[in-house]
Amino acid sequence: MDTRSELQATVDAMVHGAKGLLAADESGPTIAKRFDRIGVASNEESRRAWRNLLLSTPGLAEFISGVILYEETLGQRADDGTPLPELAARQGIVPGIKVDKGKLALAHAPGDEITEGLDGLAKRLAGYRQQGARFAKWRAVYNVSDRLPGRLAIRANAEALARYAAICQEAGIVPIVEPEVLMDGAHTMARCAEVTEAVLHEVFDALQQHAVVFEHMLLKPSMVLPGKDAGQAAPAEVAAQTLKVLRRTVPAAVPGIFFLSGGQTPAEATANLDAMNRLGPLPWRLSFSYGRALQEPPLLAWRGEPANAALAQRALLQRSRLNAMACLGQYEAAMENAAA
């Protein structure tokens, strides 16, 4: 199979039906914070046990088409000795890998950040492919205030995202492009929309300049939301403002938009996705690529106890099912029927 055919096959497997992605690519410090909440020490074995629990959930592939893994997880094995990427693939879930190396302060741009990890990326991708990864993810972050992000940060992160995506496609790996406009702060929804539109315009301009094939990539954006300290917006408003920005900026050739949850509660992230899918028809498939919004309920059920594994897996399956319903615009109606 040639590279383009391989990329198309991966995209087709990921953008399939009412399914989304499970983001299980938390860095060491991030997963340590989540484990702290349930009183579990973060070490290689506890992280392996948790991710084994997630990937071995019976029936998960009915609602999840792909999983984003952390580099450590690619080399870990399930309880029966199966490599964890293979465990996912056996379920019909496409394994992927986070490839960026995190963020750092952007020089000469106070308050702005840039993502690093381009050095040696092509060589790393070759190794990840051998371990079973078929897609990758790179996250850029944008802090928001009256003056942030600056023009330099918008341009520099777009360039990095585009270079990453081009390298991935050349290696036969589908790139997920993740520009996250952060919720932190007291900015208005209008300011978030303004920043998101500017960011996405710059990202797709850079992607085009680097000859990235839009049909063979996926977008993982944040929703248009007010800052955490500015109150909460209704799902209908989030949907209208987010789709307004996406229609202005994202080419119809992009097959799928998989939203990040970005600090929303599990219920908020699902309700907002549902509201967007009730405003169709749209040129792209709108789905989810949630980390905390999928993992928080099963994590609270598990609490590091092997005896709680089945309970935790049921919680993961339930949240995945609800988000699959949101992909069809059927979540709100189902919740109303359940409450009646």
The structural domains of the chain, ordered by start, are 3-339 (3.20.20.70)
Active-site amino acid positions: 178, 220
Q: Is the separation of the CB atoms in 174 and 216 below 8 Å?
A: yes
Residue 81 CA to residue 282 CA, distance in Å, equals 43
Residues composing the chain: 340
Please tell me whether the overall predicted TM-score, pTM, comes out greater than 0.95 for this model: yes
Per-residue pLDDT of the chain (340 residues; tens, 9 = 90+): 799 999 999 999 999 899 999 999 999 999 999 999 999 999 999 999 999 999 999 999 999 999 999 999 999 999 999 999 999 999 999 999 999 999 999 999 999 999 999 999 999 999 999 999 999 999 999 999 999 999 999 999 999 999 999 999 999 999 999 999 999 999 999 999 999 999 999 999 999 999 999 999 999 999 999 999 998 999 999 999 999 999 999 999 999 999 999 989 999 999 999 999 999 789 999 999 999 999 999 999 999 999 999 999 999 999 999 999 999 999 988 887 776 5
Per-residue three-class SS string for 138-182: EEEEECCCCCCCCHHHHHHHHHHHHHHHHHHHHCCCEEEEEEEEC
